[in-house]
Amino acid sequence: MNGLIEITMGGEVRTLKFGNYALMSYNVLTATDAGETKKLDIDYQMIDFVRDVTYCGLKNYYKISKRTFDVTLDDVTNWIDDMDLSNIQIVIDAWTKSLQSSEYIQNGFKAMSSGEEGIKKK
């Protein structure tokens, strides 16, 4: 889970990092279980999802860059309101890829801890 992307938001090129910290931040922000994505419905629509994922990707990048995170959800809401669809798709694709990587790793750890066959130790 290490997707690093650059997109233009708020008149600047900004870097997002999708990793385990971004996933954990998303789960805390949306009150979802580890590795889960909040279900879309009337109260949580695609634009809310894009805002939350973008925010968490920014937060993760600031953390690994040892920068003070001074971005708010309102900032991200305003920035994505002006983003073009291609940048929104880049964010969604990077998030989806990071979730797939995380699921693969989690399944591997579960298999190793339960002694399941199929994971060979070297």
pLDDT of residue 73 exceeding 80, the answer is yes
- Give the C-alpha separation, 50 to 116, whole Å: 37
The pLDDT value given to residue 122: 47
pLDDT tens track for 80-106: 998 989 999 999 999 888 877 655 455
pLDDT tens track for 14-62: 999 998 889 889 999 999 887 778 888 898 899 999 999 999 999 999 9
Side-chain half-sphere exposure of 28, counting CA atoms within 13 A = 9
Query: Considering the entire predicted model, what is its pTM?
Result: 0.79
Cα–Cα nearest to 5, from 99, 94, 98, 101: 94
> Buried (b) or exposed (e) across 10-24, using 16+ Cβ within 10 A?
eeeebebbbbbbbbe
